[in-house]
Amino acid sequence: MLKLDGIASFAAIAESGSISEAARRLHLSKSIVSERLADLERSLGAALLHRTTRKLSLTEDGNAFLERATRILREVEDAASDMAERRGSLAGPLRIAAPVTFGRMHLGPALYPFLAQHPRLALTLDLDDRRVDAAADGFDAVVRHGPLEDSRLVAWQLAPSRRLLVASPAYLERHGRPDSLEALQRHRGIFYTNRGVADWRFQGPDGAVAIRATVGLRVNNGDLMRDAVAAGLGIALLPTFIAGPSIQTGALQVLDLGLQAAPESVYVAHADGRRVSAKLRAFVQCLRDAFGDPPYWDR
């Protein structure tokens, strides 16, 4: 009979790439993890790992079993969470991915009281500015900023996102303040690399308008974009949840050309077809309550 602890040990080894690291993550000794893996392989009648002095790698049988092992473990975790929810509490793992700047500035402070209120909830918050795949990377949900583009995701809006063109006083003193879209094209721009094309998109009276400027910097982090603008390196189209404090202090100035940036949102998305747990619903409601409507960074 297959034992759950053996399946969990195998999944941890496959994810971490070593028995030692798996033992550390599971808070077990290396010998116990090795013994559980050996028992699992005997029960299955197959070797799951290639063992060399330098590294471990999955066998063909190991690759085939890993997908089902991961699913089994998630089903067990979900079942345990369901039992806790029936008793009126939130418990068990919840894995969320989010962008770095938004996570640091707004997500963390909103979640600290939520986690204190639900001490049996085990939240893993992965801050990364790359656009992770919620389904393939094993996340329960992802927090994102922008338009929804992935049809495999079901999105819940957390807050509308207002974006403004900003520049530093020093930059405007050196290069002048653009007073039209044509003038804006002659300026240096700071762009977010994960959006692909380096342009600014606005809603005009006749539809969408895209403006290309000379690229001064492309970077995949909102903090660095804001800091580069404050350092006088160029103009950027930044959400108010990043630029708001710098606008209030005068470190950044808003450029009003009579057009609004294309509408976007801060939202939570999960894979289509996946059961939504009470943990995830409570997580979303916690953020909505913390951010407010309109969100506090726009008040």
Structure tokens at 37: 């893996």
Per-residue pLDDT tens over the stretch 19-78: 888 888 788 898 998 898 888 888 888 888 887 766 788 888 888 888 888 888 777 777
Q: Verify that 109 and 225 share a domain, yes or no.
A: no
Three-class DSSP category at 82 = helix
Q: Verify that 251 and 270 share a domain, yes or no.
A: no
Q: Around 267, how many Cα atoms within 13 Å sit in the side-chain half-sphere?
A: 16
Name the pLDDT band for 87 (thresholds 50, 70, 90).
low
CATH code at position 219: 3.40.190.290
Interhelix angle 19-26/30-44, nearest 10 degrees:
110
CATH code at position 112: 3.40.190.10
Note every long-range contact of 123-126, with CB atoms under 8 Å and residues 24 or more positions apart, other chains counting: 123/93, 123/94, 123/95, 123/96, 124/93, 124/94, 124/95, 124/96, 125/96, 125/97, 125/98, 126/95, 126/96, 126/97, 126/98
Range of 211's domain? 163-262
Question: What's the domain count of the chain?
Answer: 3
Q: Verify that 76 and 138 share a domain, yes or no.
A: no
Q: Verify that 148 and 167 share a domain, yes or no.
A: no
Q: Which of 139, 162, 163, 161 is nearest to 152 (CA)?
A: 139
Is 110 a residue whose pLDDT tops 80?
A: yes
- pLDDT at residue 88, rounded to an integer: 60
Structure tokens at 124: 């893993």
**C-beta of residue 107 within 8 angstroms of C-beta of residue 159:** no
- Mean pLDDT value across the chain: 87
Q: Work out the average pLDDT over 109-127.
A: 92
Name the pLDDT band for 80 (thresholds 50, 70, 90).
low
Per-residue pLDDT tens over the stretch 213-259: 889 999 999 999 999 999 999 999 999 999 999 999 999 999 999 88
CATH code at position 71: 1.10.10.10
Q: Verify that 273 and 143 share a domain, yes or no.
A: yes
The predicted model scores a pTM of 0.71
Strands across the sheet containing 200-204: 207-211, 200-204, 260-261
Three-class DSSP category at 115 = helix
